[in-house]
Amino acid sequence: MTTAPVLLMDGSGSIGRRTADALRNAHRELPLLIGGRDLGKARKAADEIGNAEGVFLDSEAPDLGLGDRPVRAVAIFYSDERLASLGYAHARNIPHLGISWGVFEIAPEVAVYMHRPEASAIVLGYE
């Protein structure tokens, strides 16, 4: 049985990479997509992590440039003013985890959840 991967947006950055390493240590079989704007860095991190693939992400595209590729959950590790990651996850009824640098970024996530709470889990992360 093939399991859809978890997408880590900026999975090659400092926090994303630590998260990817922790996931890999806890769940060796879990496939990961290490997404980023720098495909070379994403691929390098994916190779080092193992059972992962580096992918280029286009935050301007509704599908993030991933097409119809299956994804089981999204975690984002940078400020996403356009809410591209949240829109992507919510449209596909998959869980979303975002970290936030400010409480003002949490309000749109709460609003999206309130409009369709049955769609999927939205985990709010705030320092």
Statement to judge: residues 73 and 127 lie in one domain? yes
Among 35, 38, 37, 57, residue whose Cα is nearest residue 46: 35
Tell me whether residue 4 is in a domain.
no
Residue 35 shares a structural domain with residue 15: yes
Expressed as residue numbers, the domain containing 105 is 64-127
87 or 110, greater pLDDT: 87
Same domain, 18 and 45: yes
- Quote the number of domains for the chain: 2
Domain presence at residue 6: no
Q: Which two tokens stand for residue 109?
A: 């996530």
Q: Which of 45-59, 88-102, 107-121 has the lowest mean pLDDT?
A: 107-121
Asked whether residue 2 is domain-assigned, the answer is no
- What is this structure's pTM? 0.84
pLDDT tens-digit readout, 26-82: 999 999 999 999 999 999 999 999 999 999 999 899 999 999 999 999 999 888 878
77 and 125, same domain (yes or no): yes
Res. 126: pLDDT tops 90: no
Residues 40 and 78 in one domain: no
φ, ψ at 34 (rounded to 5°): -95, 100
